[in-house]
Structure 1
Amino acid sequence: MASEPDDKLPPQGRFNRLRKLAGLSMHVGSEVLKTGAKHLAGSSPSELLSLGTAEKLVATLGEMKGAAMKLGQALSMDQDLLTPEVRQMLAKLQNQAPAMSYAQVSRVVKEELGAPPEELFREFSREALAAASLGQVHRAVLHDGRKVAVKVQYPGIDASMGHDMDNLGLVVKTVSKTSKMMDGTAYFQEFRDELMLELDYRREAMLAAGFSQSVAKLPDLYVPQVIVDRSARRVLTLELLEGLTLKDWVTTSPDNDARFRVARQLIRATYGPFLDAGEIHADPHPGNFMVMPDGRMGLLDFGSIKRFSPGFVAANRRMFHQALRLETLDVLALCREVGFTVDIPEAEAEALLREVLHIAGRSMRAAPYDYATCDINRDLRNHFTRNAARFLRIKPPPEAMMFFRATGGLAQNLRMLGANGDFRQVFLEVGALVEQ
């Protein structure tokens, strides 16, 4: 087979990637500043970013892959910051991006598994099924007839990710030196460690198998089987799930009953494994959830499964159950048990944290609750913004970052689904998995 140019590889070199991001940041920053100026002048611009700027974001972040692409995926989930058109453009980063050539795919497979795809599989699609931040997925068929999805890592993405983390680490280090209150080194280290671990698909295979056990009490959820003899450090082969990803399923205009069913499954998929087994799926973008024809929800992408310390889980479990029982919480004591440190007067800290829990727990208290008009994430953002200086003195433990990423993404996905129903009962069902 004739070789193909490596024109779809992630750009290499720390300073090359920094230059690309710097140019993009200047372009985006200029537009955001203009939008802010219009707000100050009394007008109400309809969008934070134009469609043209969103297209530039998709092109640049999709080309860079890695941490940069994950940033674009996160932006596309926030319904309060961007217009539907801009979010739809950024959503292309959730499972679509410029693909690497088949020659590159074949080379990685041979390097990792000892033979090219044509020998290892009865069928192997030359076209990518989906492209993600660290690798792209191809449909294939095993020699025994089983349909599988083969995720192949982009060549050089490990170095690219390392360069991105070095660049970001320099920014964090510089900011942290200005003030102890602004010291984010522990959070950055947690983020860096978790992200770099995703590069080892052998670890992801192990996490997928473990997560399958964690959702065993939830038969409406499904984790695909790992094909161990077709997996390695940079190649992961899983059972192929049929259905529509969450973001595609929403466009089929399902009725409220269907949307409520899927919303219930999302809540169970997030909180069930956390409360029962102390782990959570911490990459909640809607490309990682599949609505299957038989009504089950398929879960995808297990590189960011986060396992928490026993103390963190126990304290959060207690807080969850007390909130469900509508008890008055000793907020400060529970947060300290979780691992928070507080450097402001206790009364101030308690008031701030109590408001956070009050906003975040709306759907756990009210029945019915309408996620179509849900303002939880917007109100939390406004609360943090209004009290930014004081919140900087209330520091969660580093491991909480991945918990917040998962639960914040869940709220965004539930808002996207827009279902109306008795969600309090759903949370009660999840809480019953682990009684106190």
Structure 2
Amino acid sequence: MASDPSDLDDKLPTQGRFNRFRKLAGLSAQLSADVLKSGAKRLVGQEPELLSKAAAEKLVSTLGELKGAAMKLGQAVSMDTELLSPEVRQVIARLQNEAPPMPYEVVARVVREELGDTPEALFREFDTTPLASASLGQVHRAVLHDGRPVAVKVQYPGIAQTLSGDMENLGLVVKTVSKASRLADGTAYFHELRDELLLETDYLREASLCTAFARGVARLPDLKVPEVITERTTGRVLTLELLRGRTLKDWVVSEPSAEERYRVARQLILAIYGPFFTVGEMHADPHPGNFMVLEDGRLGLLDFGSIKRFSPRFVDANRRMFVHAMRLEPMDVLGLSREVGFTTELPDVEATELIQEILHIAGRPMRSAPYDYATCSITRDMKLHFARNATRFLKIRPPAEAVMFFRSTGGLAQNLRLIGAQGDFRRVYQEVAALL
């Protein structure tokens, strides 16, 4: 008996701005209660988790159902090694590629609408069970008629409108905060993030970015970008060469050796900074579900909807700053920051001091060898630096495009902390410098 289409639609991401806002409000109330309970325990000398495992399960259930921008937020939270315990973080990490899937009947419907026929006709094999379920679509393993194994990403119906609604809800919050405080005006940064996220729903654009990114890493043989199968790709269906291996989040819990940890950490650094400094592109959604440790030892890259292309000015000034840092040379920190696009309302001496400390904290692995990422405190120290100087930092404004740069480099730092490798990472950054 065929499924009722209305029943299938009930299993898709919650639609409507009000309905999604209501679900998030309910989740927020539950999580707030959990955090308050933790605070009460701290008052009596106990050291509870910031978030209980039960609350984390609720978070995963709700955000996984909502998908879209809400789920992307959950993915970001799951990467913070300082905020949550390993047990709780492992629960939330399921949001990286294990969201509740949409029914196969819906998958088949989208494929037929986009490619003109059923999955069974278009492919020699098509696995009805998803390989991964993410924020905007889910991936199915398939085989082309010529025998090539592929991964087929099928977009959730209505997710473009859903994501737009999420961003409008968030935009109201940003607008309210910005009106309340001129110093805290984040409108330009929100618009940058919103525009980039909305573009991710165009799979033809993602296919083009994937192909271009493959050219950008051509000089890095340890990296692998999958080939796009153009004849099986449209705006809502993306077919790529299937990569064989384990996602970083699965690999890291398999107790890899110290040598393997160093090898993969090196590959991650090259994957983020290599394309940025050479062709001005960066993978700006670097959660552990988007990288794969392949069977042949290379690092596979996944999900190219968030590839960010930066302005030549931004790349050039950052490149010169990086070269000075690698040579351990003094530099005009404020002058280069202004070339990047920063503006400041602070006296030059104060602004220089604040920015210099950021570079000092972030540059530790570039200066000393060996460096131990297992005990790395870069993320924590950076947060403390911003917290202690919050009022002054509000008077230093990076360019809007820096939002995606910080998203990428911040994610890299968290991934390296997660891997916990130790070794001569200055040599790795010298490899990056040699590409220039």
* TM-score normalised per structure 2: 0.98
Secondary structure, counterpart of 1:290 in structure 2 = strand
Cα distance, 1:37 vs. partner?
5.3
Is the 8 Å Cα contact of residues 46 and 83 (structure 1) preserved in structure 2?
no
Greater shift, 198-207 or 5-14, is seen at 5-14
Secondary structure, counterpart of 1:150 in structure 2 = strand
Residue in 2 that maps onto 1:79: 81
Secondary structure, counterpart of 2:171 in structure 1 = helix
The letter for the 2-side match of 1:373 is T
Residue in 2 that maps onto 1:329: 331
Any gaps of 5 or more consecutive residues in structure 2?
none
The letter for the 2-side match of 1:17 is R
Residue in 1 that maps onto 2:252: 250
Residue in 2 that maps onto 1:389: 391
Aligned: 1:376 with 2:412: no
Residue in 1 that maps onto 2:14: 11
Residue in 2 that maps onto 1:32: 35
Cα distance, 1:34 vs. partner?
4.0
In the alignment, the residues of structure 1 paired with residue 40 and residue 409 of structure 2 have an alpha-carbon distance, to the nearest angstrom, of 33
Matches within 5 A, 1:280-319: 280-319=282-321
In the alignment, the residues of structure 1 paired with residue 45 and residue 328 of structure 2 have an alpha-carbon distance, to the nearest angstrom, of 42
Residue in 1 that maps onto 2:226: 224
Residue in 2 that maps onto 1:415: 417
Q: Deviations over 1:345-370 (max 9, x none)?
A: 22111111111110011001010000
Residue in 2 that maps onto 1:133: 135
Q: Which of the residues 20, 23, 40 maps onto 1:20?
A: 23
Q: Which of the residues 139, 158, 161 maps onto 2:160?
A: 158
Residue in 1 that maps onto 2:238: 236
Q: Which of the residues 174, 197, 208 maps onto 1:206?
A: 208
Structure 1 segments of 4 or more deviating over 2 A?
29-39, 41-46
Secondary structure, counterpart of 2:183 in structure 1 = helix
Secondary structure, counterpart of 1:180 in structure 2 = coil
Is the 8 Å Cα contact of residues 38 and 48 (structure 2) preserved in structure 1?
no
In the alignment, the residues of structure 1 paired with residue 370 and residue 46 of structure 2 have an alpha-carbon distance, to the nearest angstrom, of 33
Cα distance, 1:331 vs. partner?
1.1
In the alignment, the residues of structure 2 paired with residue 166 and residue 229 of structure 1 have an alpha-carbon distance, to the nearest angstrom, of 35
In the alignment, the residues of structure 2 paired with residue 272 and residue 183 of structure 1 have an alpha-carbon distance, to the nearest angstrom, of 32
Q: Deviations over 1:34-77 (max 9, x none)?
A: 434555x3735231111111000000000000100001110000
Cα distance, 1:309 vs. partner?
0.2
In the alignment, the residues of structure 2 paired with residue 135 and residue 319 of structure 1 have an alpha-carbon distance, to the nearest angstrom, of 38
The letter for the 1-side match of 2:331 is L
Q: Deviations over 1:229-252 (max 9, x none)?
A: 100000000000000111111111
In the alignment, the residues of structure 2 paired with residue 36 and residue 160 of structure 1 have an alpha-carbon distance, to the nearest angstrom, of 35
Residue in 2 that maps onto 1:180: 182
Is the 8 Å Cα contact of residues 110 and 117 (structure 1) preserved in structure 2?
yes
Is the 8 Å Cα contact of residues 60 and 95 (structure 2) preserved in structure 1?
yes
The letter for the 2-side match of 1:167 is N
Secondary structure, counterpart of 1:295 in structure 2 = coil
* TM-score normalised per structure 1: 0.98
Secondary structure, counterpart of 1:291 in structure 2 = strand
Is the 8 Å Cα contact of residues 250 and 417 (structure 1) preserved in structure 2?
yes
In the alignment, the residues of structure 2 paired with residue 76 and residue 43 of structure 1 have an alpha-carbon distance, to the nearest angstrom, of 27
In the alignment, the residues of structure 1 paired with residue 39 and residue 378 of structure 2 have an alpha-carbon distance, to the nearest angstrom, of 23
In the alignment, the residues of structure 2 paired with residue 213 and residue 382 of structure 1 have an alpha-carbon distance, to the nearest angstrom, of 39
Is the 8 Å Cα contact of residues 122 and 140 (structure 1) preserved in structure 2?
yes
Q: Deviations over 1:148-176 (max 9, x none)?
A: 00000001111111110110001111111
Q: Which of the residues 47, 57, 60 maps onto 1:58?
A: 60
Cα distance, 1:33 vs. partner?
3.8
The letter for the 1-side match of 2:3 is S
C-alpha RMSD over aligned residues: 1.1
Q: Which of the residues 69, 72, 87 maps onto 2:71?
A: 69
Change in CA separation of 1:388 and 1:36 when aligned onto 2, cut-off 3 Å? farther
Cα distance, 1:395 vs. partner?
0.7
In the alignment, the residues of structure 2 paired with residue 344 and residue 94 of structure 1 have an alpha-carbon distance, to the nearest angstrom, of 40
Is the 8 Å Cα contact of residues 41 and 48 (structure 2) preserved in structure 1?
no
Q: Percent identity?
A: 68
Is the 8 Å Cα contact of residues 281 and 302 (structure 1) preserved in structure 2?
yes
Is the 8 Å Cα contact of residues 223 and 298 (structure 2) preserved in structure 1?
yes
Secondary structure, counterpart of 1:181 in structure 2 = coil
In the alignment, the residues of structure 1 paired with residue 34 and residue 357 of structure 2 have an alpha-carbon distance, to the nearest angstrom, of 33
In the alignment, the residues of structure 1 paired with residue 94 and residue 345 of structure 2 have an alpha-carbon distance, to the nearest angstrom, of 42
Residue in 2 that maps onto 1:2: 2
Q: Deviations over 1:368-402 (max 9, x none)?
A: 00001001001101111111111111111010010
